[in-house]
């Protein structure tokens, strides 16, 4: 049974490869990528996206810098220590002494 499954899988793989090559294969994909990459509209959109990411990067850096200075200011303050707990003297267990009668 497993041999029949293996043979069918190999045949299906061969048919898929032949269909891909008939459709155009890698050569057709490369032509489409070159056409898309050379368009002016794509260049403009890439430039605008690059400018947007640069501005977001700068704003993020400023926000992180402000957070850093805030935390550094808090670190300079000495931490408040809790008052030590006072221990009560413990009562020693004393043996009961027998009373003389």
Domain region containing 63: 38-72
Residues belonging to the chain: 101
Average pLDDT over residues 53-58: 92
Q: For residue 29, what are its two tokens? A: 């994909």
54 within domain boundaries: yes
Model pLDDT, residue 95: 56
b vs e for 12-23, b when ≥16 Cβ sit within 10 Å of the residue's Cβ? eeeeeeeeeeee
42 within domain boundaries: yes
56 within domain boundaries: yes
Please state the pTM of the whole predicted model: 0.36
63 within domain boundaries: yes
Higher pLDDT, 62 or 71: 62
53 within domain boundaries: yes
**Cα end-to-end distance, the chain, whole Å:** 105
Model pLDDT, residue 29: 75
Number of domains in the chain: 1
Give the angle 87-88-89 at the CA atoms, nearest 5°: 115
2 within domain boundaries: no
Q: For residue 76, what are its two tokens? A: 């300079």
């Amino acid at each position: 049974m497993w041999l029949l499954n293996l043979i069918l899988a190999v045949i299906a793989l061969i048919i898929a490869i032949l269909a891909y090559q008939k459709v155009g294969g890698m050569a057709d994909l490369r032509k489409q990528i070159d056409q898309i990459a050379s368009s002016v509209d794509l260049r403009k959109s890439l430039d605008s996206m690059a400018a947007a990411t640069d501005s977001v990067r700068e704003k993020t850096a400023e926000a992180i810098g402000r957070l850093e200075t805030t935390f550094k200011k808090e670190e300079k303050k000495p931490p408040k220590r809790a008052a030590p707990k006072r221990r009560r003297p413990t009562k020693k267990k004393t043996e009961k002494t027998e009373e003389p009668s």
